[in-house]
């Protein structure tokens, strides 16, 4: 009796550990890697498509449930081995192409961004504005993709012979006349990157603190001992925590965009700072040797 109790307890414990581990690892997989790559824990229409094709060809005999589990993994491995691909069980761009599935990015190097429930920002605003002008949408232009926007997009898609799923992908954006990634000017690219960095680093800070983080990045670009581009500064190894832990890949909210715009336009609440840190969590001791200019929100800013 006791042994079985211990065994079941252990079993349940192990299952919890392994599932949470699986969930966790799939969660921390960098988004950029996940974008066109499917592996353990992946879910959705593309996985379903992979399973369907592999079943047709006899590699796979599990259920077509859209979940990338052991069977799918094994099947992909078999398929890879037969087709001279690297055998790792991961359906990356190469494998997907061999299977005959279009990689979502369309191969054009565009980001292939998709807007749906919960999305926020300038593009959502633009979607709403256009749908409102054409009478599909009558909510407020608030930059938040909620039910109203979703059903308006759906109506628009039906009218225009698009797949009516309420999700704004590249095709719908094009039909709306909103330029997708490719025709961005360098200014817009920098704006997005700066907004993403601000969102990752200073979410929850007062607005002034967000502009301040953007200003520090701009000050570094102009400083001789840092890289001389916005991307160079943001992605310098070890420079920003939000880059190291991937939070920079979150979609920036409206307030981050606004702050980025103010910082790009020259507003600098920091008085020329090139460093900042949170005194409560700073791990590096040498930053304290920098002369502190002032504190805004939780961050101190220094030369």
Partner 1 sequence: MEEKDNRLSQWKRLSGGSFLIALGLLLGFGIYQYKQKLNYRQYLQNRFQESFYEATTYVDNMENLFTKVRLTKSPDQSAPLFAQIWREASSAQDNLAELPYDHNTISKALKFLSQASDFSFSMTNKAIEGFELDEEDWKKVDQLKKYAKILSDELNKIKQEVNDGKRIDWEEIESEGEKRLAKGNTKAITGSFSEISKQFEDIPTLIYDGPFSDHIERMEPRMTRNKKKISKEEGKKVVEEFIGKDKVKSIKQTGETDTKVEHTIPVYSYQVVLRDQDEPTISIDVTQHGGLVLWMLNYTEKESTEEKLSLEEARKKAEKFLEERNYPNMKASYYEKVDGTVVINFAPYENKVIMYPDLIKVKVAMDDGEIIGFESLGYIMMHHDRKLPEIKITEEEARDKITKDFKVQQVNMAVIPLESKREVLCYEFKGEFDNQLFLIYINAESGKQEKILQILQSKNAVLTK
Binding site residues, partner 1, CB under 8 A: 1, 3-4, 7-8, 10-11, 14-15, 17-18, 21-22, 25, 40, 70, 89, 122, 125, 140-141, 187, 207-208, 211, 222, 224-228, 232, 236-239, 258, 261-262, 265-269, 271-272, 283-286, 291-296, 302-303
- CA distances in angstroms from 189 to 58, 125, 129, 194, listed in the order given: 45, 18, 22, 9
Angle (deg, nearest 10), helices 254-264 and 207-221: 40
Question: How is the beta sheet containing 275-277 ordered, strand by strand?
Answer: 275-277, 299-302, 292-296
| Rounded Cα gap, residues 41 and 33, in angstroms | 14
| Rounded Cα gap, residues 247 and 96, in angstroms | 28
Specify the residue, 128 or 157, whose C-beta has the smaller distance to partner 1: 128
Specify the residue, 80 or 157, whose C-beta has the smaller distance to partner 1: 80
Q: Where do the H-state alpha helices sit in 170-228?
A: 170-176, 186-202, 207-221
What is the smallest separation between the CB atom of 235 and partner 1, expressed in angstroms? 8
What is the smallest separation between the CB atom of 46 and partner 1, expressed in angstroms? 20
What is the smallest separation between the CB atom of 102 and partner 1, expressed in angstroms? 25
What are the DSSP E strand ranges found in the chain? Answer: 275-277, 292-296, 299-302
What is the smallest separation between the CB atom of 8 and partner 1, expressed in angstroms? 6
Specify the residue, 150 or 207, whose C-beta has the smaller distance to partner 1: 207
What is the smallest separation between the CB atom of 243 and partner 1, expressed in angstroms? 12
| Rounded Cα gap, residues 137 and 117, in angstroms | 15
Specify the residue, 146 or 162, whose C-beta has the smaller distance to partner 1: 146
Specify the residue, 43 or 268, whose C-beta has the smaller distance to partner 1: 268
């Amino acid at each position: 009796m006791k042994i079985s109790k211990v065994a079941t307890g252990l079993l349940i414990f192990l299952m919890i550990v392994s599932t949470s581990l699986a969930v966790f690892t799939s969660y921390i997989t960098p988004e950029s890697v996940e974008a066109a790559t499917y592996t353990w824990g992946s879910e959705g229409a593309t996985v379903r498509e992979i399973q369907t094709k592999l079943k047709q060809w006899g590699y796979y005999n599990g259920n077509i449930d859209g979940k990338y589990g052991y069977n799918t993994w094994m099947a992909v491995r078999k398929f890879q081995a037969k087709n001279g691909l690297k055998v790792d069980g991961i359906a990356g761009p190469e494998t997907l192409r061999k299977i005959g599935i279009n990689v979502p990015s369309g191969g054009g190097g565009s980001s292939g961004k998709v807007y749906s429930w919960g999305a926020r920002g300038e593009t959502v605003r633009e979607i709403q504005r256009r749908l409102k002008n054409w009478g599909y949408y009558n909510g407020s232009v608030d930059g938040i993709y909620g039910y109203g926007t979703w059903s308006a997009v759906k109506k628009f898609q039906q009218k225009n012979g698009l797949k009516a799923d309420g999700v704004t992908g590249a095709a719908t954006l094009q039909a709306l006349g909103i330029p997708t990634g490719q025709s961005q000017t360098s200014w817009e690219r920098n704006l997005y990157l700066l907004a993403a960095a601000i969102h990752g680093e200073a979410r929850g800070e007062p607005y002034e603190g967000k502009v301040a983080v953007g200003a520090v990045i701009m000050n570094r670009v102009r400083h001789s001992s840092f890289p001389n581009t916005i991307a160079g500064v943001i992605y310098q190894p070890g420079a920003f925590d939000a880059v190291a832990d991937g939070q920079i890949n979150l979609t920036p909210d409206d307030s981050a965009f606004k702050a980025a715009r103010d910082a790009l336009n020259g507003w600098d609440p920091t008085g020329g700072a090139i460093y900042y840190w949170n005194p409560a969590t700073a791990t590096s001791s040498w930053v304290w040797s920098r002369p502190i200019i002032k504190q805004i929100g939780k961050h101190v800013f220094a030369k």
